[in-house]
């Protein structure tokens, strides 16, 4: 995986500007000191700088001064006990060269927040840690395994001169921040004023030595040195060949010293730009000018789809796929109002993400104010974005159960599992919505009707037999309307199930209760045998017949047929028709009643 990305994009990462162009400075206080120990100061707050010019100067130097990871920090392990308190400087300095000092205010008594003194050390102890920091810089490249990696080391004069400058700068920074009300944890970064090429030179001494997971196993082959990869592998530095248990990969790998530098830059770019965000789509011809936007169309391009997480200041690739000829353009998807006679188009798109957005909000949004991309959130970060949201519990469960299927459909152009589960998903959504709406006395059944339309649109879209789902529903409604008008006979199973839905909706709407309880509505929706369906219809009739005109022969004609006939096909095969009967304009209402109960003007007069 790492090597696939490297081999595809390595030419871009040979240029540091690819990373620097999108490099972001962390929130904190930044100081630049000249040779006379005078300083300029800048603050980054919520990603925004208070000095544009100073930010430009600092950003590139910050990039060359960061340590690779906390386990690659320079040794500052100085410990001292004062008045019974033990203080340690272990991993409290996070820079990598003689011209910078990076630390957090929580580590220094006097400038740390009063609620964050646990890790803080006295200023004199911190200064001794700085001394240890420079000792470690001096030792870089000293052992035999490191000698083959670097061509130069620090001189004693460089170390001495710049340590003195940093200590003086540290004192001034301490005095400057001592009286400020600092946050609980914020970066403090000190830079000595030097040319950028000098920053690159001194940074390279550290980088060369620290890029491999461990240098104990490095081997020299020709002009190149090979060592164990440090990226996206949870290697134990003492046992780098153990089988990995916490990653998708089973064994480690060796990589050259030139490639490991490019991999490091690639992972810096990933961390700075996409860590913790949604799926990243990188076509093979992506030039890394900016960041790919989700809404950007991709037309028939070989594409990497990856999910990147932050891991202690580094990028970690948690999900990775390569798709040949990936395409965000789809053949036209059309959704209609299938339960109206004219069946007007309510939505259409040729973009897969437009379809995902529409599906998400028709099937999962609670109301117009809660519109969000719930489907995308469910497979990108269910625990944070869905499980803790205000969505109904049943919607959370559906998203949890089927998020991998949604991911395959919308991210991988793989519809097989979605097609197999479509009816199951849609029926559960529509039934739950229907119950919710009745319980809240929302008689216009707006949401479940739209959810039904979307289900039918998907069935039509993936229908390989070429059947017209809309035409089928239209024909059934017309046939049933004539049966009611003429007080005729039910002749087909589809007519039976559609009219069963019409009867139940009409009966439910006779209730004078403010809310219809779930135990009244759900048993009919969940009925899985003809016997059970008839029992529920009869139960509802007995419960609400006080409000039905005894001399309503058209209703009585249909009700008696529903209770007496035995359809040949099972309920399971006709869920679509039953739900259509529930959701369509009710044919038992008069014209005026239809208008008042969500129907249209074509309702049958009593």
Kindly report, residue by residue over 43-75, the tens digit of the pLDDT: 999 989 999 999 999 999 999 999 988 888 999
pLDDT of residue 602: 39
DSSP 48-104: EES-HHHHHHHHHHHHTTB-S-GGG------EEEETTEEEE-TT---B-STTEEEEE
Sign of the CA dihedral with 273 first, then 275, 280, and 283 last: positive
Q: What angle do CA 529, 530, 531 make, to 5 degrees?
A: 90
Is 547's pLDDT higher than 90? no
pLDDT of residue 524: 86
pTM for this one? Answer: 0.75
* Confidence band, pLDDT 50/70/90 cuts, at residue 604: very low
Considering only 201-205, 231-235, 380-384, which range has the smallest mean pLDDT? 231-235
Is 249's pLDDT higher than 70? no
Q: What is the mean pLDDT of residues 256-263?
A: 90
Q: What is the mean pLDDT of residues 541-558?
A: 77
* Confidence band, pLDDT 50/70/90 cuts, at residue 440: low
Is 159's pLDDT higher than 90? yes
- Tens digit of each residue's pLDDT (9 = 90 or more) over 345-357: 999 999 999 999 9
Domain residue spans of the chain: 2-19+214-325, 24-210, 330-461, 469-596
* Confidence band, pLDDT 50/70/90 cuts, at residue 597: very low
Cα 61 to Cα 22, 55, 262, 550, distances in angstroms: 14, 10, 18, 88
Q: What is the mean pLDDT of residues 288-312?
A: 84
Is 444's pLDDT higher than 70? no
* Ranges of H-type helices in 178-297: 196-210, 257-274
Is 600's pLDDT higher than 60? no
Is 396's pLDDT higher than 80? yes
What percentage of the chain carries pLDDT values higher than 70?
A: 89
Question: In whole angstroms, what separates CA 57 from the centre of its chain?
Answer: 34
Using CA atoms, how far apart are residues 561 and 563, in angstroms rounded to an integer?
5
* Confidence band, pLDDT 50/70/90 cuts, at residue 517: low
Q: How many helices (H) and strands (E) does the chain have?
A: 20, 15
Q: What's the half-sphere exposure (Cβ side, CA atoms, 13 Å) at 240?
A: 17
Higher pLDDT, 186 or 595: 186
> Residue 144: which residues within 8 A CB-CB, separation 6 or more?
none
Is 421's pLDDT higher than 60? yes
pLDDT of residue 338: 95
> Residue 46: which residues within 8 A CB-CB, separation 6 or more?
27
Higher pLDDT, 27 or 543: 27
Report residue 189: phi and psi, to 5°: -130, 125
Is 247's pLDDT higher than 70? no
Using CA atoms, how far apart are residues 482 and 216, in angstroms rounded to an integer?
86
Using CA atoms, how far apart are residues 285 and 299, in angstroms rounded to an integer?
12
Q: Hey, what are 281's tokens?
A: 């789509």
What percentage of the chain carries pLDDT values higher than 90?
A: 54
Which residue is listed with tokens 């206080």? 29
Is 20's pLDDT higher than 80? yes
Considering only 253-257, 352-356, 572-576, which range has the smallest mean pLDDT? 253-257
Do residues 585 and 341 make contact, with C-beta atoms less than 8 angstroms apart?
A: no
Q: Hey, what are 188's tokens?
A: 């403090």
């Amino acid at each position: 995986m790492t090597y696939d990305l490297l081999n595809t994009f390595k030419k871009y990462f040979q240029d540091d500007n690819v990373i620097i162009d999108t490099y972001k400075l962390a929130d904190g206080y930044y100081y630049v000191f000249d040779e006379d120990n005078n300083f300029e100061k800048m603050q980054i707050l919520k990603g925004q700088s208070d000095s544009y010019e100073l930010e430009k100067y600092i950003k590139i130097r910050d990039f060359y001064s960061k340590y690779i990871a906390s386990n690659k920090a320079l040794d500052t392990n100085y410990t001292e006990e004062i008045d019974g308190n033990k203080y340690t400087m272990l991993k409290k300095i996070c820079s990598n060269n003689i011209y910078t000092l990076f630390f957090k205010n929580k580590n220094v008594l006097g400038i740390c927040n009063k609620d964050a003194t646990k890790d803080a050390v006295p200023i004199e102890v911190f200064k001794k840690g700085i001394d240890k920091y420079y000792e470690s810089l001096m030792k870089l490249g000293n052992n035999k395994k490191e000698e083959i990696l670097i061509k130069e080391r620090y001189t004693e004069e460089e170390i001495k001169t710049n340590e003195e400058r940093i200590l003086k700068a540290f004192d001034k920074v301490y005095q400057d921040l001592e009286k400020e009300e600092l946050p609980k944890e914020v970066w403090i970064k000190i830079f000595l004023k030097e040319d950028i090429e000098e920053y690159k030179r001194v940074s390279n001494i550290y980088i060369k030595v620290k890029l491999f997971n461990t240098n104990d196993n490095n081997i020299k082959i020709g002009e190149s040195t090979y060592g164990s990869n440090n990226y996206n592998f949870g290697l134990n530095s003492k046992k780098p060949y153990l089988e990995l248990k916490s990653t998708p990969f089973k064994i480690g790998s060796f990589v050259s010293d030139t490639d490991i530098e490019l991999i490091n830059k690639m992972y810096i770019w990933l961390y700075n730009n996409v860590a913790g965000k949604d799926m990243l789509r990188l076509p093979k011809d992506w030039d890394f000018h900016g960041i790919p936007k989700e809404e950007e169309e991709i037309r028939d391009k070989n594409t990497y789809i990856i999910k990147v997480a932050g891991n202690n200041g580094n990028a970690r690739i948690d999900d990775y796929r390569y798709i040949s000829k990936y395409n965000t353009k789809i053949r036209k998807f059309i959704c209609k109002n299938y339960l109206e006679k004219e069946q007007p188009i309510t939505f259409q798109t040729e973009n897969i993400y437009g379809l995902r957005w529409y599906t998400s909000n028709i099937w999962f949004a609670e109301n117009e104010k809660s519109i969000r991309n719930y489907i995308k959130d469910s497979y990108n970060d269910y625990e944070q974005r869905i499980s803790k949201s205000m969505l109904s519990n049943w919607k959370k469960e559906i998203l949890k159960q089927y998020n991998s299927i949604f991911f395959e459909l919308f991210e991988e152009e793989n519809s097989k599992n979605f097609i197999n589960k479509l009816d199951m998903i849609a029926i559960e959504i529509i039934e739950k919505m229907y119950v919710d709406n009745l319980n809240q006395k929302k008689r216009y059944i707006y949401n479940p009707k739209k959810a039904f339309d979307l289900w039918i649109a998907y069935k039509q879209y993936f229908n390989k037999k070429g059947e017209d789902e809309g035409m089928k529903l239209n024909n059934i409604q017309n046939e049933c309307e004539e049966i009611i008008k003429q007080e005729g006979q039910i002749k087909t199973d589809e007519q039976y199930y559609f009219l069963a839905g019409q009867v139940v909706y009409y009966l439910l709407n006779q209730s004078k209760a403010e809310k219809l309880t779930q135990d009244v509505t759900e048993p009919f929706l969940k009925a899985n045998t003809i016997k059970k369906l008839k029992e529920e219809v009869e139960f509802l009739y007995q419960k609400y017949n006080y409000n039905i005109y005894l001399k309503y022969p058209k209703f009585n004609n249909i009700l008696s047929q529903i209770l007496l006939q035995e359809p040949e096909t099972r309920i399971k095969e006709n869920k679509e028709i039953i739900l259509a009967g529930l959701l369509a304009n009710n044919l038992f209402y008069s014209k005026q009643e239809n208008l008042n109960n969500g129907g249209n003007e074509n309702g049958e007069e009593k």
